[in-house]
């Protein structure tokens, strides 16, 4: 029963998480990036592959086959019983962090790594604790999906792909910000982690 509840919650969290960005993106800003980092697209690709991996291998009793067809994969018995509960904690945290981050990022938010002509260095809200809270929320959603849906052996490689992609994007964006804000960004970066503990 807990696995089914975790799966339903996961779907709700995904809808809310996506809406946080869709609503923000739908607002006209009238701003066009004047500086972009094309290399960050490779990071987006790897992050996307990580997500594709966790969604492509259902492996728990709350999977699509079980809910819709009543089929239980053979490896369900080896699935740790606490995984659905972990997912149920991570999903809402990811949504809350995404909403909080997008709210504080405001006009600076964009899908691709880029800077507007009037770009500002945001250090308020979640940006006081981590420089890239949206990537942190993406990682939490990946883990929530893995714990609520995926066959557990695919989770480590999915996370590895996602982290490599995130590192590419973080480095690309940090280079842009360093080039624009110089010493102010260097000081900010020196005492604020990138997107999770121990990662500068």
In a domain, 77, yes or no: yes
Which stretches within 57-120 are classed as H helix? 64, 83-105
Per-residue pLDDT, averaged over 138-164, amounts to: 93
User: What is the domain extent for residue 137?
Assistant: 2-191
Is the pLDDT score of 61 beyond 60? no
Compare 34 and 95 and report the one with higher pLDDT. 95
In a domain, 84, yes or no: yes
In a domain, 108, yes or no: yes
Span 86-100, pLDDT tens digits: 999 999 999 999 999
In a domain, 200, yes or no: no
CA–CA distance, 90 with 126 (Å, rounded to integer): 17
In a domain, 199, yes or no: no
Of the candidates 122, 105, 142, 145, which has an alpha carbon nearest to the alpha carbon of residue 20? Answer: 105
Could you give the number of structural domains in the chain?
A: 1
CA–CA distance, 15 with 23 (Å, rounded to integer): 12
Provide the CATH number for the domain around residue 149. 1.20.120.1630
CA–CA distance, 140 with 73 (Å, rounded to integer): 25
In a domain, 196, yes or no: no
Confidence band, pLDDT 50/70/90 cuts, at residue 152: confident
46-79 burial by CB neighbour count: b if 16+ within 10 A, else e? bbeebbebbbebbbbbbbeebeeeeeebeeeeeb
Confidence band, pLDDT 50/70/90 cuts, at residue 32: low
pLDDT of residue 71: 43
**By the 8 A CB rule, do 41 and 112 touch?**
yes
Please give the distance of CA 168 from its chain centroid, rounded to a whole number: 14
Is the pLDDT score of 143 beyond 50? yes
Span 166-179, pLDDT tens digits: 999 999 989 889 98
Compare 100 and 37 and report the one with higher pLDDT. 100
In a domain, 198, yes or no: no
Per-residue pLDDT, averaged over 184-188, amounts to: 94
Compare 64 and 35 and report the one with higher pLDDT. 35
Contacts with 189 (C-beta within 8 Å, 6 or more apart), sequence order: 131, 174, 178, 200
């Amino acid at each position: 029963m807990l696995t089914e509840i975790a799966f339903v919650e996961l779907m709700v969290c995904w809808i809310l998480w996506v809406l946080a960005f869709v609503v923000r993106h739908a607002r006209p800003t009238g701003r066009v990036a004047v500086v972009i980092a094309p290399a960050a697209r490779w990071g987006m690709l790897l992050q996307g592959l990580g997500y594709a991996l966790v969604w492509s291998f259902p492996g728990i009793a709350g999977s699509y086959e079980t809910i819709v067809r009543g089929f239980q994969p053979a490896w369900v018995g080896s699935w740790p019983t606490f995984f659905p509960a972990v997912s149920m904690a991570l999903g809402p945290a990811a949504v809350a962090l995404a909403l909080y981050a997008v709210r504080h990022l405001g006009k600076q938010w964009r899908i691709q790594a880029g800077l507007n002509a009037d770009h500002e260095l945001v250090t308020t809200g979640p940006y006081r604790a981590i420089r890239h809270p949206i990537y942190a929320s993406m990682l939490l959603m990946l883990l929530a999906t893995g714990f609520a849906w995926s066959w557990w052996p695919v989770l480590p490689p999915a996370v590895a792909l996602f982290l490599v992609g995130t590192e590419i994007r973080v480095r690309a964006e940090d280079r842009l910000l360093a080039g624009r804000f110089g010493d102010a960004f260097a000081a900010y970066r020196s005492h604020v982690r990138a997107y999770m503990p121990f990662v500068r």
